Structure 1
């Protein structure tokens, strides 16, 4: 295991950097928040979705297939989607527009329901960073997740403020979204550190989880307010940017 320690450390560091990039999205929002609205939120989330899809396809799916072959990829990919689906169905959580999903627990405040929703969404992203630290795609994935966290952090902050939360509390919840990714990164890196045989399965699992989140959570959320075309072109833009960066970074 000692020879894998540098990769473990790299996974932890990259997870922190990628996760905390959510806070970068708050900076421009604080300067021009009054000028931003629903279209901006949907465009930002659409761009984040495109980046996630490109990262899943090129930096997670391709290495998983190369390392483990199609059978291991299929098993891990489907498992990742099913695990997120089960958490989504049975854990109580609240979306900004879709409202409540999962079990009904009246004792939980709306803020904590938002936090649970963010955890379901962001944990797989952080896990992808930690897992990929053991591959040549480490920096590509960290960059992709970090990049998509900036518009996602901005959109989360704007939505919370528009929902009536104070700037301080909205900033704290946005920070928690990044902290969730750090935890996911620690988990992913630790799993591969314990057994490298899990690498193709975990890469595929992270890809399946992220694609499920994009399709089930992010895209529907951006298509509820009449901004479908804008969010779709934003998704295409995010996908193009990440695809080009993936080639440039090798």
Structure 2
């Protein structure tokens, strides 16, 4: 059921909108009601864990080196990003923040937007958290400017974010790599820098191998790395899998992981 709903979310919503808007032309009230139901089903699919994966946490290596802060962490809440869609139930974001004496803030009143090169994480190396085979590698999407000021965040949450969520994984994850670790476990590294992916589909990687650089592509407010495990190759039909980092506790929101 989840596979059907998740893979057809955008068509469901578009059909629902079309039915609702055209129902007056046909003088059929049920078309409007049916359209509204399709819209609600499509939207609800992002939040409902329709298919549950009952598995123990998978041990992986941290995909970053240095001092990174956990954001939207499953150590604090599940689903960590507020939705179960696209395998994000246990996802975590990492923001590179090497200066312990300066507080990282999710929102900055000014400047309104910044180029990704203004952030210390942009271009930092990203490493494979598991040994396996690369089954997806994309790095053609642009690295956009930041969305950290209040006006930019309002646009991000009201307009950009929902549109990306509805369109699906390619718009959400931006440039990303998926590694098949076997046993129904797929590791995702997302929001990578355009042109930085150094692996190809079919290539075998070892845990700890460098695969790309941190970027600001996809559904992001600033350069960071999005990491998640899921049970299928395609995020649109996948459920999230819990994980633990070898030798490190999973950092909560704002807590550092130093590796």
TM over 0.5: no
TM bucket normalised to smaller:
under 0.3
Instruction: Pick 1 or 2: higher relative contact order, CA cutoff 8 A, min separation 6.
Output: 1
**Structure with greater strand share of residues:** 2
**Structure with greater helix share of residues:** 1
